[in-house]
């Protein structure tokens, strides 16, 4: 019997005396899962961020800038996927964040999850999120009217051309002005390069000139909310 043990490889001998690694890994995984479930259950999903915070964050034009803007109010803010990498986006919505509320000391969902008969419904503060789009639409309408007036001396073709150009320029100018005001006077972060700003301005102007403000807004809503939690 002793010769048999002497002939065994060291790794085999060690495995006979070491605790079962798979059992330990299973226990660790179980503990981590329980801790994760308790963490997620502790999140306040009904209160949401104040309207002024929502307005500042919604004016940021990239995901990085949205997070930086929110950190100006709540330094520990993180994307939901940082809390739950596997299911955070599906559960809480793409582009949502979690932060610690200084009032309650509780983890709080940035965009609250309001439900009616089990379905997600928008709250009043969700309308604050579309501040740039509201400014863009108002600018497109005003620009279209002004452009049509300027083109009137050239007859119907001039009016049509003036409306198209006015909608495009008016929408882009109003949207960028809204973002610039919140960036200059508020907490909104806007770290886009000059080229990125030019591209965004051109895209806004082109979409409104081609499709009009209402068609453009409809496409944006479908793109943002289609198939995703509100």
DSSP string, the chain: -HHHHHHS-HHHHHHHHS--HHHHHHHHHHHHHHHHHHHHHTSB-SS---HHHHHHHHH--SHHHHHHHHHHH-TT-EEHHHH-TTTHHHHH-TT-EEEE-TTT-SEEESS---EETTEE---GGGGGGGHHHHHHHHHHHHHHHHHHHHHGGG-HHHHHHHHHHHHHHHHHHHHHHHHHHHHHHSS------HHHHHHHHHHHHHHHHHHHHHHHHHHHHHHHHTTS--
Mean pLDDT of the chain: 80
38-52, 66-80, 109-123, 144-158 — which is least confidently predicted?
109-123
Residue 37, class by beta-carbon neighbours within 10 Å (0-12 exposed, 13-18 middle, 19+ buried)? exposed
Q: Give me the pLDDT at residue 20, please.
A: 52
* 93 phi/psi in degrees, rounded to 5: 105, 140
Supply the pTM of this predicted model.
0.71
User: How many CB atoms neighbour CB 170 within 10 A?
Assistant: 26
Write out the two tokens for 56.
């500042």
Q: What is the pLDDT of residues 110-167, one digit of tens each?
A: 998 877 776 666 667 777 888 888 898 899 899 999 999 999 998 888 899 998 898 8
Residue 175, class by beta-carbon neighbours within 10 Å (0-12 exposed, 13-18 middle, 19+ buried)? buried
Report the alpha-carbon distance of residue 142 to residue 24 in Å, rounded: 67
Q: Give me the pLDDT at residue 14, please.
A: 53
> Can you tell me which residue has the tokens 């009137």?
152
Report the alpha-carbon distance of residue 113 to residue 116 in Å, rounded: 10
Tell me the average pLDDT across 68-79: 95
Task: Sort strands 119-120 and 115-116 into parallel, antiparallel or unpaired.
Answer: antiparallel
Q: Give me the pLDDT at residue 225, please.
A: 46
Task: Check pLDDT > 50 for residue 229.
Answer: no
Find, among 180, 178, 175, the residue nearest to 213 by Cα.
Answer: 175
Angle, CA of 149, 159 and 174, to the nearest 5°:
60
Is 65 within 8 Å of 79 (Cβ atoms)? no
């Amino acid at each position: 019997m002793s010769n048999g043990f002497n002939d065994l490889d060291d790794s085999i001998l060690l495995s006979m005396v070491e605790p079962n690694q798979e059992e330990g890994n299973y226990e660790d995984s179980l503990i981590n899962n329980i801790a994760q479930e308790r963490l997620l259950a502790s999140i306040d999903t009904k209160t949401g961020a104040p309207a002024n915070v929502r307005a500042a964050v919604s004016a940021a034009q990239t995901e990085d800038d949205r997070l930086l803007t929110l950190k100006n109010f709540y330094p520990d803010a993180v994307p939901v996927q940082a809390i739950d990498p596997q299911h955070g986006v599906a559960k809480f919505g793409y582009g949502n964040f979690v932060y610690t509320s200084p009032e309650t000391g509780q983890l709080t969902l940035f965009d609250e999850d309001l439900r009616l008969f089990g379905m997600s419904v928008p709250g009043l503060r969700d309308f604050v999120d579309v501040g740039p789009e509201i400014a863009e639409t108002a600018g497109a309408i005003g620009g279209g009217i002004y452009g049509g007036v300027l083109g009137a001396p050239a007859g119907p073709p001039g009016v049509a051309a003036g409306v198209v150009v006015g909608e495009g320029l008016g929408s882009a100018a109003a949207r960028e002005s809204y973002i610039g005001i919140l960036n200059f006077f508020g907490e909104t972060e806007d770290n886009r390069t000059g080229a990125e700003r030019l591209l965004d301005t051109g895209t806004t102007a082109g979409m409104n000139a081609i499709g009009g403000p209402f068609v453009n807004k409809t496409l944006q809503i479908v793109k943002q909310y289609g198939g995703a939690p509100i």
